[in-house]
Structure 1
Amino acid sequence: MNTPPSSRVASFGQTEINWDKLDKRRFYVVGAGLFTGVTVALYPVSVVKTRLQVASKEIAERSAFSVVKGILKNDGVPGLYRGFGTVITGAVPARIIFLTALETTKISAFKLVAPLELSEPTQAAIANGIAGMTASLFSQAVFVPIDVVSQKLMVQGYSGHATYTGGIDVATKIIKSYGVRGLYRGFGLSVMTYSPSSAAWWASYGSSQRVIWRFLGYGGDSDATAAPSKSKIVLVQAAGGIIAGATASSITTPLDTIKTRLQVMGHQENRPSAKQVVKKLLAEDGWKGFYRGLGPRFFSMSAWGTSMILTYEYLKRLCAIED
């Protein structure tokens, strides 16, 4: 029997809550607080990853531990949060756009693939992948300027990069030199990096969950199996987040390295193009140069992804409308 999309989501032990079953106002207000807390906890990983990606050759050989040690020695704990104010200011509207687009697109995508009569993990991968890519595309308009400013703050004074007094100072200097388009430096690569990354992440998350649930004896067309416990649901969601983070980071790290280097270049007149950045990376380190910061990026995407998805799923349970 071909289960309709709405029932198909609920068939996995009622582990997923659809968009139409959420109190939207509470979802956005409570979500802003929860996601801010997660960002505070994991932000230093992004700082370390960014510094490794933009370091000059002699510094790039240092480990993530050495970078952390250097930051703490020179700037103390506040050094691990450079650019945080800028990120958190833009994160709230960006996440509202992302999550709204994600959930609404996911519903339409499931309806779109249902007639194909594919397996449930495959349908989930396609529908979640489409939703993840669409949500990323919508949120880039807000996210890229925040990314450009915050990354300059993350690497200021490091490996020859300029120093700033804050996010406003960075934005002002960029606009003065290049106009508003300067805030969208690397926009094309950001879209090319984050959209496939988001698609890969959500596709992996959606499909891996279903594979795990089936392995545990849930899902399919069987209604005989009792609903799983909340602790089991959390463990499966966490496992899905780790798998998704590993998949997405492996695929998109090279593009992320190029994009980051483009975005943090100084205000010199002859800024290199993406092609020149690629040539320089190849000349310095060969193909492995594109995977600078892979360890922190893998940890970042797995930690961020798992923490965010558990927070997100918890948020949805908190904001679910009682039938």
Structure 2
Amino acid sequence: MSSMETQPYIRTIEWEMLDKRKFIPLSIASSFSIRCMLYPFTVIKTRLQVQRHHSVYNGTFDAFRKTFANEGFAGLYRGFWVSAFQLVSGVAYITTYETVRHVLQNCGVQDSRVRALAGGGGASLVGQTIIVPFDVISQHLMVLGQVELRPGKGTRRLNPLRIQYESIPRRRIALEIIKEVYKQDGVRGFYRGYFASICTYVPNSALWWSFYHFYQEQLVKVLPPSLCPLLLMQSLSATLGGVTTTVLTNPLDCVRARYQIQRVSSLPETVQALWAEERWGIFTKGLSARLVSSITFSFMVVLGYESVKRLSINDELKPLVRW
């Protein structure tokens, strides 16, 4: 065994080891950069999930091609600036995650997977409470301009809120959506699908962080630091965790997207309608787009997250950090 492997090093950088003045701004910058790169996949995933069968697109590549052809590059970034406000929830998310893990560790919980499971679930609960109103608005923006093929009836543009957006300046479309949502449902409309989001994202987040630590523990046994950089191993662990979680939670995400956008009266009714239309297809509906997004997102998020933690660690601990 090499001396590099026997030397002590910090594999998991904990909350109390960080200089928060560096960590928080660097985390925001990292999150914004990743969101810019991956947002088109979110748009495509949402459009695939809300269509009925293959009435609009035949798959992920077809959705990209038709969106770009019909709406140009801007179509892939519909609702981006509204969605960008989610950076606020991102700070709350990561702060909650690290705080819960820290508290559990102080309470004697040593299993990193259990702490990650609780931290991820708690972080998502806080994050979703902040994010759902922005999610509702951005999802309506995502489907504007989407063309649905109707056999024997030609085509039509999907517009669940019936807004005459063609005659509205682009900078005002989000404002019109806000006004229409409030007009139809009041403040409650901005939290439409909140329970569905909680049911989707809390287990998704809890499982993602738990699998991240599980795969990390397994990979470190076969990929010691002398064979694989620690940061690369962590990014691979995140990717494997993202794939596992995405496959397990895809039906929940389909229900959430359909309920928030198509204004079905209740969550059980949404589940029944989706099952009647798709049957076992709910396990694969939009899955390819989610997998591409999840693989890229998981790899990039942890690459950024763990790099930011290394850059933000207190000076006296830097000699114990490995890249």
Q: Normalising TM by the smaller chain, what interval?
A: 0.7 to 0.9
Separation in 2, partners of 1:278, 1:92: 30
**What is the aligned counterpart of 2:79 among 77, 83, 93?**
83
SS at match of 2:132: helix
- 2:202 aligns with 195
- 1:29 aligns with 25
Gaps of 5+ in 2: 1-6, 149-156, 166-171, 317-323
Over aligned residues, Cα RMSD in angstroms? 2.0
Separation in 2, partners of 1:281, 1:187: 18
Separation in 1, partners of 2:69, 2:233: 39
- 1:287 aligns with 280
Matches within 5 A, 1:212-291: 212-217=219-224, 228=225, 232-265=229-262, 271-291=264-284
Separation in 2, partners of 1:23, 1:145: 32
Deviation (angstroms), 1:216? 3.1
Superimposed CA distance per residue, residues 209-264 of structure 1 (whole angstroms, 9 cap, x where no aligned partner) = 111112335xxxxxxxxxx3796112201111111101211111101101101111
* Alpha-carbon contact 2:71-2:145 (below 8 Å) kept: no
**What is the aligned counterpart of 2:10 among 6, 14, 18?**
14
- 1:310 aligns with 303
Segments of 4+ in structure 1 off by > 6 A?
A: none
The answer on 1:102 being equivalent to 2:92 is no
Deviation (angstroms), 1:289? 2.9
Structure 1 residues 247, 110: CA separation in 2 closer, same or farther (over 3 Å shift)?
farther
Quick one: which amino acid aligns to residue 314 of structure 2? I
TM-score after normalising by structure 2: 0.85
Identity of aligned residues (%): 32
Separation in 2, partners of 1:45, 1:201: 19
Quick one: which amino acid aligns to residue 241 of structure 1? A
**What is the aligned counterpart of 2:218 among 211, 214, 233?**
211
**What is the aligned counterpart of 1:129 among 105, 111, 117?**
117
- 1:177 aligns with 184
Q: How many residues align?
A: 291
Separation in 1, partners of 2:235, 2:299: 5
Deviation (angstroms), 1:290? 4.5
Quick one: which amino acid aligns to residue 31 of structure 1? S
Gaps of 5+ in 1: 1-10, 116-122, 218-227
* Alpha-carbon contact 1:53-1:60 (below 8 Å) kept: no
